[in-house]
Structure formats: structure tokens, C-alpha cells
Amino acid sequence: MQLILILFVIMGGMGLSVEAGLLGPLGSEVGELWATLSIFGVGAALTFILMLFFSPRNCPSFFVQPSWTLLGGILGPVYVVILTITVPIIGIAMTMIGILMGQVAKSLIIDHYGLFSTQPRPIDRQRFIALAFIIAALVLMAQG
């Protein structure tokens, strides 16, 4: 089961690279914020349609959830604007390596302290070395 989930996240990562490739030219033509709005508008419409057919009808309201759990709604557009601005300048590969480095570094901290109600997973030597390899990839990409 874990292998299947790993394959899913790899496919998701590939999708993000495609999204970045689409956002760069779109942002250059219509502006970064309009490109971001279009991506989230299409995504919201698709999610709404999927909710109509596949979401349980007795779901608790998200209004009763802790407000901090909704912060992802702010982080998503920030991420997309960053992609839209950086891809035309530094390229998809460099943008994705930089994002990956930020994701892994922050994820290690979140895992280590068990933030956001996650199971704590201490930063060990292997995880630190993995981050070092990603940093090395970023440095090598920047020199190329």
C-alpha cells in the first residue's frame, strides 16, 4: 500500500511541474494574479462538481473547524503566484528543486515536532542527508 501511495505522490509532483509549465506562459500573457485566479477558478469548479457526486452528505461544516486549519487556502495561491513569477525567469526545473528544498526542510521540522496534530518523526541522520542532497541539487542547478 505504501508503494502505491508513493507512486501517487510522484504523479502529483509531476502534475505540479506541468502546472508550473502552464502557469509561466499564462502569467506572462494575462498577469500573475489573473493566471492564479484562473487556476483556482477551474480547480474550484472541478472540486464543486466532484463534491456533488462523491462527497458524503452528512459532512460536518468547515465553519466549526479550528480557523488555523483553513490557512492552506492562503498558502495555495501564494505558491501558485510564486510559480507563475519564477518559472519564466529561472525555469521549471530550478523552480521545482527550490520548492522541493523548501517543502522538505519545513516538512522535517513539522514531522520532528509533530506540528498540526501529526505523528512526531524525529530528524535523524538519513533525513538530514536527504535534505543535504536536495540542497546540493539546488546548488548544482544554479551553477548550470
For 4, phi then psi, to 5°, come to: -65, -45
With both helix axes pointing from N to C terminus, report the angle between 72-90 and 92-113 in degrees, rounded to the nearest 10: 150
Q: Of the ranges 12-16, 64-68, 85-89, which one carries the lowest mean pLDDT score?
A: 64-68
Instruction: Identify the pLDDT of residue 1.
Output: 85
Q: What is the pLDDT of residues 86-127, one digit of tens each?
A: 999 999 999 999 999 999 999 999 999 999 989 999 999 999
Instruction: Identify the pLDDT of residue 72.
Output: 83
Instruction: Identify the pLDDT of residue 10.
Output: 92
pLDDT tops 80 at residue 144:
no
Burial state string for 74-91 with b = 16 or more CB within 10 A and e = fewer than 16? eeeeebbbbbbbbbeeeb
| CA–CA dist 26, 41 (Å, integer) | 14
* Closest listed residue to residue 13, CA positions, set 114, 121, 5, 124: 5
Confidence label for 128 from pLDDT (cuts 50, 70 and 90): very high
| CA–CA dist 56, 48 (Å, integer) | 13
Confidence label for 62 from pLDDT (cuts 50, 70 and 90): confident
The residues near 21 (Cβ < 8 Å, ≥ 6 apart) are: 87, 92
- Residue 56: alpha-carbon gap to chain centroid: 26
Domain ranges of the chain: 2-143
Instruction: Identify the pLDDT of residue 71.
Output: 85
Share above pLDDT 70 across residues of the chain, in percent, rounded to a whole number:
99
